[in-house]
Homo-oligomer: A and B are copies of this chain.
Amino acid sequence: MRTLSYAEAISEATVQAMECDPSIFVAGIAVDYPSGIFGTTTEAYKRFGKARVFDTPAMENALTGIAIGAAAVGKRPVIVHPRNDFMFLAFDQLINLAAKWKYMYGGRAGTVPIVVRAVVGRGWGQGATHSQSLQAPLAHFPGLTVLMPTSPHDAKGLMMAALQHDGPVVILEHRSLFGLKGEVPEEPYVVPIGSAEVVRPGTDLTVVATSFMTVEALRAADELAKDDISLEVIDLRSIRPLDEETILASLKKTGRLIVTDTSWEMCGVVSEIAALAAEKGFHDLKAPVRRIALPNCPAPVSQALEDVFYPKASTIAKAALVMLGRTSSSLGEIDLVDDFKGPY
């Protein structure tokens, strides 16, 4: 099958959806630049022009409200935050209005099908306010769908799904994934919202991962396979709604659980999955759950500190070894090298 990058997959989904559905438009800072949000909006801009793909002032709060108001009368706005960290400024519109719209007007004001794309950073000294990952607070409040595609395939399929969904959807795209290549069907398709995927079957231990941490988990699994340790890796893909079944089924099989996410632990996705295990998977658990998330401090800038700040494949692999009471010969050389070249 044909191979596309994650960025190309998002671009293709956008273009295909816009072709079928004239109500879709894309708005936000830089969406009509030649660089077009890592190239994800460039093609849409070329095809549909400024009428449907347009730059806006920096106005995160109003942009979200504008999207809601346009959606309320039949549009399907896609708004883009070049950094999801800027989205805090839009939390009122997102959580107090978009998330509650359908429910609090008793369904009588219809739905507000907006798609909010927002980019998650990591590393290269992006620092404390350009590298956060907001899935946990967004998923905490009923009403928002929160997606984190990892593969190019899912980036396209979930974008298509979001653009057909009847409520507000936030898609968090990890910056380190934009260049990732993978097989992507040409025709339009949908990855169902609310479905996790077993991206690598295994028997000894389940790793539930989100976004870029799935890449790290797969790398850890590859490595441990050399020592005949079999990790099952689940790519969560959808934070809310959560695919409890897939997780619990895996737990039933392996009895052991590591959860890893791109954000912090406290009241985070890792805790949510661990709680699920403690509540509904308890009788299958053979060992304590292990959460692997960001250390309890803001992201530092210095490369020396970033190196120890971000959990990675080796972190997961080591935790798995401890949980299984095993050792490995080769561990330590499996971590990704960040070969990004500045400037930002």
Q: Please indicate the chain B residues that have their CB under 8 angstroms from the CB of A91 in the complex.
A: 88-89, 91
Residue A59 at the chain B interface, CB threshold 8 Å: no
Using a CB-CB cutoff of 8 Å, which residues 103-148 of chain A contact chain B? 103-104, 127-129, 132, 135-137, 139-143
Among B143, B242, B267, B298, the residue within 8 A (CB) of A104 is B298
**What is the bound-complex CA distance between A99 and B264, given in angstroms?**
14
Residue A153 at the chain B interface, CB threshold 8 Å: no
Among B92, B129, B289, the residue within 8 A (CB) of A100 is B129
Q: Please indicate the chain B residues that have their CB under 8 angstroms from the CB of A85 in the complex.
A: 96
**What is the bound-complex CA distance between A277 and B275, given in angstroms?**
8
Residue A7 at the chain B interface, CB threshold 8 Å: no
- 0/1 per residue, A239-276, Cβ < 8 Å to B? 01010000000000000000000011111111110110
Residue A297 at the chain B interface, CB threshold 8 Å: yes
Q: Contacts A136-B140, A140-B267, A266-B242 hold; do A278 and B275 have CB atoms under 8 A apart?
A: yes
**What is the bound-complex CA distance between A61 and B297, given in angstroms?**
23
Residue A280 at the chain B interface, CB threshold 8 Å: yes
Residue A226 at the chain B interface, CB threshold 8 Å: no
Shortest Cβ distance from A274 into B: residue: B275
Residue A308 at the chain B interface, CB threshold 8 Å: no
Q: How far is the CB of A181 from chain B (nearest CB, A)?
A: 31
Q: Contacts A282-B287, A285-B278, A287-B282 hold; do A267 and B139 have CB atoms under 8 A apart?
A: yes
**What is the bound-complex CA distance between A269 and B140, given in angstroms?**
10
Among B86, B289, B297, the residue within 8 A (CB) of A278 is B289
Instruction: Flag if A142 contacts B298 (CB, 8 Å).
Output: yes
Taking Cβ atoms with an 8 Å cutoff, the residues of A that contact B are 61, 85-86, 88-89, 91-92, 95-97, 99-100, 103-104, 127-129, 132, 135-137, 139-143, 240, 242, 263-272, 274-275, 277-280, 282-283, 285, 287-291, 296-298, 300
Q: How far is the CB of A17 from chain B (nearest CB, A)?
A: 28
Among B96, B242, B288, B298, the residue within 8 A (CB) of A129 is B96
Q: Please indicate the chain B residues that have their CB under 8 angstroms from the CB of A128 in the complex.
A: 96, 100, 103-104
Shortest Cβ distance from A137 into B: residue: B137
Instruction: Flag if A263 contacts B129 (CB, 8 Å).
Output: no
Shortest Cβ distance from A92 into B: residue: B88
13 intermolecular pairs with C-beta atoms under 8 Å apart? A88-B95, A88-B96, A91-B91, A96-B129, A103-B297, A103-B298, A104-B300, A137-B137, A139-B266, A141-B264, A266-B272, A270-B275, A279-B290
Instruction: Flag if B279 contacts A142 (CB, 8 Å).
Output: no
Instruction: Flag if B100 contacts A142 (CB, 8 Å).
Output: no
Q: Please indicate the chain B residues that have their CB under 8 angstroms from the CB of A300 in the complex.
A: 103-104
Instruction: Flag if A288 contacts B298 (CB, 8 Å).
Output: no
Q: Please indicate the chain B residues that have their CB under 8 angstroms from the CB of A264 in the complex.
A: 140-142
Q: Contacts A128-B104, A288-B280, A289-B279 hold; do A140 and B137 have CB atoms under 8 A apart?
A: yes
Shortest Cβ distance from A270 into B: residue: B275
Q: Contacts A100-B129, A272-B271, A275-B291 hold; do A142 and B297 have CB atoms under 8 A apart?
A: yes
Q: Please indicate the chain B residues that have their CB under 8 angstroms from the CB of A140 in the complex.
A: 136-137, 263-264, 266-268
Q: Contacts A91-B91, A92-B89, A96-B88 hold; do A267 and B277 have CB atoms under 8 A apart?
A: no
